[in-house]
Structure 1
Amino acid sequence: MTTGGDTVAQLLVDNSVSEVYTLAGNQTVSLVNGLDQRDVSVVTARHEYNAAVMADTYGRLTGDPGVAITVAGPGGTNALTGVAQAYTAASPMVCISAVLPEDAPTEALHGVDDQHFLEKAFKPATKWSTQVHDPDLLPEVVDRAFDIAMSGRPGPVFIGIDETILMEEVDITDPPFRLTRQEDAPPTADAVGDALSPLFDTTHRALYVGKGVLRAFAWDEVVTIAEQLDCPVVCPRHYPDSFPNDHELFAGTVGMADHPAATRALADADAVLSIGVRPSSHEAAILGDRTGLDTEIVYFHAGAREHPQTQANSVVAGELDGILKATGEHIETGDGSTDSSYRETVAAEMERVAVDTDAYLDEIRDQTPIHPLLIMTELRDAADDDIVITGDAGAAGGAWPNDAFEYRAPNSFQHSRLYDSMGFPIPAGNTAKLVDPERQVVNLIGDGGFLMCNMELATAVETATDAVTIVMNDSKYGMIWNYQRNSGYDSVGTDIPQTNIAAIADGFGARGIRVENPSEVRPALEEALAADEHVVLDIVTDPKAEYVSRKIW
């Protein structure tokens, strides 16, 4: 006999888990001990939200479910925000939490009156939420969780396991079978060919490429399709890395702020092929708003068939890689071409914005406090093409890397995305470095967000990872402060006391560098990127700096 926690550890190993993220407690000691004895890397987060963020990031970068483990009650509820974020990002994850026995009294430790409250809390933010109070069900539930997390549209799954199962010895009956994952059959070639016909019937066509392409690791196939169609490619605002930004067909992003080239490409398109965007989603609604009512929209997406949010000629659902394989075969033999004047008009808008941005950079290059556009420009010039950027909610980690950074490699912008919680970048960057230690990783965050996740510098030091954290330190919750200022409100609750963030980094055992002069930005970046330890650049920035999207777009 063995503890249920040790049994769960073996079940995770059986599902090819090699790394988990946790903040251990009495209820999960047996589980993490069993993982450690099986040579699974147990990474300690300093808050359960951060453990969930790290598991989310692991899923995005590897395609395999990241695993977060928490104690009951506050451990689970702390992780819920990170799990909801993984759901909106279509990131595969398995979140395992201890839960109280079903016969626990009311107001028990880590509980409320309803002992299924965690299962119910996680249900709307996961693909499947369940609790296990019978140890014989553990093999079936764990196997099913991994299958659900990876199938169709990926996403998180929640498993609550009775604390008595985790902590005590159990005798689990061998199940009659173990699940072998079966791949869903792709749509027929005829279905894909019929759906593509509007693209072949017009010379004004565009692609709209979203996060489903990233989760399917299918960016090479999409680049090939774009080149075969020779048409502009637009991405949703929060997923600019769905298509290489330095490709001649890239036409910017739409959503919140629209790149003029993207607006032109969609407004003038007679047909749009949307790849990797849920037809029922906010991003689909944006596509409908930016196109005409007579524009024929074709949706190819991963997961079950969904009713479109806006007009659609057809929807093809299933495993995206199979759909794209059939697409490539049809386009190779398809007829039609993209109108050259349409393509050139979109390209001219891209060039105009680039020229105007360079002029804007010349205006602000020497100003103090430092302008964020200078930081983004110098970072792009100093960094490798495949650098991973992690971004936060707000201006520093959201608006600026969306407005002013060129993502040359797919799946290279890991952001808190549409759920948009603060404090994402440092735990996400820790995982990015653990997944690929040789790849450059830069975390972009404001001082407000930094104060929510700086405890994960301890994790960075403990794991000896050498990401770079850039803190745009403007003593403000800058995005909201600017909204107040521009909308006639008083500045209430948006000032942050001037904080020496470099000193905080030093206190954790990382290296902190304070940057106050524009001439110091490039040398500091080069020093940080070359370091073999975690470096925090505390850059004093201008809270009134105008976004590129507002200044130029």
Structure 2
Amino acid sequence: MTTVGEALVRALVARGVDTIFGIPGVHTIELYRGLADSGIRHVTPRHEQGAGFMADGYARASGKPGVALVITGPGLTNTLTAMAQARADSVPVLVLSGVNARDSLGQGLGYLHELPDQRTLAAGVALSSERVETPDDLCPAIDRALARLAAGRPGPVHVEVPIDVAGLPVGGDSGPAAPVAVPRPDPAVIADAAGLLATARAPVILAGGGMREGAVLAALAERLGAPVVQTVNGRGRMHAHPLVVPASPSLRAVRDLLEGADVVLALGTELGPTDYDMYGTGGMPRLPSLVRVDICPDQLARHPARIAIMADASDAAHALLRDLGPDAAEPARAQARAAAARDAAWDEIGPKMRAEVRCLDAMREAVPGALIVGDSTQPVYAGNLFYDPDRAGGWFNSATGYGALGYAIPAAIGAAIARPDLPVLCLTGDGGAQFSLAELMTAAQEALPVTFVIWNNRGYGEIATSMRDAGAPVIGCDPTPPDFADLARACGMPHAAVAADPAAIAATLRRLRAIAGPSILEIRVADVA
């Protein structure tokens, strides 16, 4: 006899799942029954929020959905913050949970881990939330959840299995995944957009996280003679290219470039304020003759464009390139426009942030091709304003969208498991690190070669600065950090401490990266006053 729980594991294997992040409990015993012989790697975080963040990091690094398996009640509520981060940054995460027996739901009977309405709670954050009411519901529910991630703007999806269903017998095999129809660009709309772009004298491309193919992005930019402004999640796809502007469109210098364009092509960006109005001025840059590509019709409706193309951004870029033909624009003028925007943006961020970006550059040079996974911390904020990673998808963090602290440590673990062939650097502040220090032991247990870089200013430096700038007293911004050298010893990791000096950071990183397993590099900067 195959149970629903065992069939769930088989269905996940058939749909390409190779890793699950979860903490077992009495409500998920039957869901765990089939894992032992499945070939799926199970990673045990120290908190369910960590499971969600690990699934997020895994998804960003692998391009596949990350999967978290949690218990009903507190397991799911602990995961909600991670689900909200995935929702804000369009990251495909499948959350599987238990739930109490069907005849007890909504009754308020006082069962262990009982919630008034768990599915409605999850649905407030997830793109979808389904309950498997009968054995026959299992595979259709999984397929609907995964189709939601493949055919539109991704995010978190939730499927719950009641404890009285998980052990029921199920007939037949899980079978292959149901086919998913992905929106394809309309040839007529592509032709209209290509015609407009072909006549542009000063075009600019906006590349967001949905624009994943760097080669076609570069080819399109060269064909049009267009500088390419990259949002935080679009960075690294044209590293060091003379047309790239790896700077935030919240900066005045970048806004001037956009507002001086005659056509703006926006590829896979939601045009949200964490990228376009980071300083909270209440305004967005003016985007003349906007041609917008997005896979989500709701997003297209939120920011109307002269021409709207509902499609995957990479598919649309290929189609536009075909319609435009091979004749490339004269490069010199476009390269000069891009260089002027880069230089002005670099000047605009100021000396403090320039110093922090130089530290990021030192990390990139010391560990080429690394995935740098960041938290909401000062050098990450600086990098989000101006930084050019040398790998597509090699720079992502929680300081966009939802902005959850404690993200970087577990997300870096998920990324390292997804891409064991790549070096992973976790960049977090001492304040944010204290949200998820327990997950260091997950890295130690899994022997992951992650270097945890802790920017230690002994407090919430960015928040303290904001309070001072607002003329408010600085209160609550000085949580005492642990002794990170002692913490590293407790976790069985090497530790090194340096000042915020690029040369010292690079040299120490090279030394730590030569040691197997995880390590901690503490960068000591001035305390929060």
Q: Which secondary structure does the structure 2 equivalent of 1:253 belong to?
A: coil
Q: Is the 8 A contact 2:346 2:386 kept in 1?
A: no
Q: Which moved more, 1:536-545 or 1:47-56?
A: 536-545
Q: CA deviation at 1:468?
A: 0.4
Q: Which residue of 1 aligns with 2:317?
A: 324
Structure 1 residue aligned with 2:202, among 191, 204, 214?
Answer: 204
Q: Which moved more, 1:438-447 or 1:118-127?
A: 118-127
Q: Which secondary structure does the structure 1 equivalent of 2:124 belong to?
A: helix
> In structure 2, what is the Cα distance between the partners aligned to 1:314 and 1:516?
50
CA offset digits 1:258-317 (Å, max 9, x no partner): 162x223202101100001236x4479759955447x10010112336444345101110
Q: CA deviation at 1:333?
A: 5.6
> In structure 2, what is the Cα distance between the partners aligned to 1:284 and 1:394?
16
Query: Aligned letter for 1:314?
Result: I
Unaligned runs of 5+ in 2: none
Q: Which moved more, 1:53-62 or 1:373-382?
A: 373-382
Structure 1 residue aligned with 2:111, among 103, 108, 113?
Answer: 108
Q: Which secondary structure does the structure 2 equivalent of 1:158 belong to?
A: strand
Q: Which secondary structure does the structure 2 equivalent of 1:537 belong to?
A: strand
**Does residue 431 of structure 1 match 2:414?**
yes
Q: CA deviation at 1:442?
A: 0.6
Pair 482,176 (structure 1): closer, same or farther in 2 beyond 3 Å: closer
**Does residue 538 of structure 1 match 2:522?**
yes
Q: Is the 8 A contact 2:268 2:313 kept in 1?
A: yes
Q: Is the 8 A contact 1:128 1:158 kept in 2?
A: yes
Query: Aligned letter for 1:108?
Result: Y
Q: Is the 8 A contact 1:211 1:242 kept in 2?
A: no
> In structure 2, what is the Cα distance between the partners aligned to 1:178 and 1:536?
43
Unaligned runs of 5+ in 1: 365-370, 546-553
Q: CA deviation at 1:407?
A: 0.9
Q: CA deviation at 1:502?
A: 2.2
Q: Which residue of 1 aligns with 2:24?
A: 24
Q: Which residue of 2 aligns with 1:235?
A: 230
Query: Please, what is the CA RMSD of the aligned residues?
Result: 2.9
Q: Is the 8 A contact 1:251 1:265 kept in 2?
A: no
Q: CA deviation at 1:500?
A: 1.0
Q: Which secondary structure does the structure 1 equivalent of 2:373 belong to?
A: strand
Pair 316,232 (structure 1): closer, same or farther in 2 beyond 3 Å: same
> In structure 2, what is the Cα distance between the partners aligned to 1:245 and 1:99?
46
In the TM superposition, 1:191-340 aligns within 5 A as 191-214=189-212, 218-236=213-231, 238-241=232-235, 243-255=237-249, 257-258=250-251, 260=253, 262-278=254-270, 281-282=272-273, 289=283, 291-292=285-286, 295-304=288-297, 306-332=299-325, 337=329
Query: Aligned letter for 1:194?
Result: D
Pair 124,193 (structure 1): closer, same or farther in 2 beyond 3 Å: farther
> In structure 1, what is the Cα distance between the partners aligned to 2:333 and 2:315?
33
**Does residue 375 of structure 1 match 2:359?**
yes
Q: Is the 8 A contact 2:122 2:158 kept in 1?
A: yes
Structure 1 residue aligned with 2:405, among 422, 428, 431?
Answer: 422
Pair 323,356 (structure 1): closer, same or farther in 2 beyond 3 Å: closer
TM-score (norm 2): 0.90
> In structure 2, what is the Cα distance between the partners aligned to 1:360 and 1:50?
35
In the TM superposition, 1:65-144 aligns within 5 A as 65-104=65-104, 105-106=107-108, 107-112=110-115, 114=116, 117-144=117-144
Query: Aligned letter for 1:508?
Result: C
> In structure 2, what is the Cα distance between the partners aligned to 1:473 and 1:78?
27
Q: Is the 8 A contact 1:457 1:510 kept in 2?
A: no
Length, aligned pairs only: 521
Q: Which runs of 4+ in 1 moved over 6 A?
A: 175-178
CA offset digits 1:511-539 (Å, max 9, x no partner): 22233584743332221222212111122
Pair 275,528 (structure 1): closer, same or farther in 2 beyond 3 Å: same
Pair 343,140 (structure 1): closer, same or farther in 2 beyond 3 Å: same
Q: Which residue of 2 aligns with 1:493?
A: 476
> In structure 1, what is the Cα distance between the partners aligned to 2:39 and 2:113?
30
Q: Which residue of 1 aligns with 2:393?
A: 411
CA offset digits 1:71-108 (Å, max 9, x no partner): 00000011111111111221112100101123225132
Query: Aligned letter for 1:147?
Result: A
Pair 271,338 (structure 1): closer, same or farther in 2 beyond 3 Å: farther
Query: Aligned letter for 1:313?
Result: R
Q: Is the 8 A contact 1:119 1:131 kept in 2?
A: yes
Structure 2 residue aligned with 1:451, among 434, 439, 461?
Answer: 434
Q: Is the 8 A contact 1:145 1:157 kept in 2?
A: yes
> In structure 2, what is the Cα distance between the partners aligned to 1:194 and 1:517?
51
In the TM superposition, 1:157-176 aligns within 5 A as 157-166=157-166, 168=167, 170-174=168-172
Q: Is the 8 A contact 1:392 1:445 kept in 2?
A: yes
Q: CA deviation at 1:352?
A: 5.5
Pair 242,299 (structure 1): closer, same or farther in 2 beyond 3 Å: farther
CA offset digits 1:409-459 (Å, max 9, x no partner): 211112123111011111111122212223111100000111111111111
Query: Aligned letter for 1:233?
Result: V
Q: Which moved more, 1:496-505 or 1:458-467?
A: 496-505
Q: Is the 8 A contact 1:395 1:479 kept in 2?
A: yes
TM-score (norm 1): 0.87
Q: Is the 8 A contact 1:153 1:302 kept in 2?
A: yes
- Percent same amino acid among aligned pairs? 24
Q: CA deviation at 1:127?
A: 2.0
> In structure 2, what is the Cα distance between the partners aligned to 1:434 and 1:72?
26
> In structure 2, what is the Cα distance between the partners aligned to 1:176 and 1:428?
30
Q: Which residue of 1 aligns with 2:425?
A: 442
> In structure 2, what is the Cα distance between the partners aligned to 1:133 and 1:229?
53
Q: Is the 8 A contact 2:235 2:246 kept in 1?
A: no
**Does residue 524 of structure 1 match 2:508?**
yes
Query: Aligned letter for 2:215?
Result: D
Q: Which secondary structure does the structure 1 equivalent of 2:102 belong to?
A: coil
> In structure 2, what is the Cα distance between the partners aligned to 1:529 and 1:54?
22
> In structure 1, what is the Cα distance between the partners aligned to 2:197 and 2:330?
9
Q: Which secondary structure does the structure 1 equivalent of 2:302 belong to?
A: coil
> In structure 1, what is the Cα distance between the partners aligned to 2:96 and 2:267?
32
> In structure 2, what is the Cα distance between the partners aligned to 1:313 and 1:118?
42
Q: Which residue of 2 aligns with 1:148?
A: 148
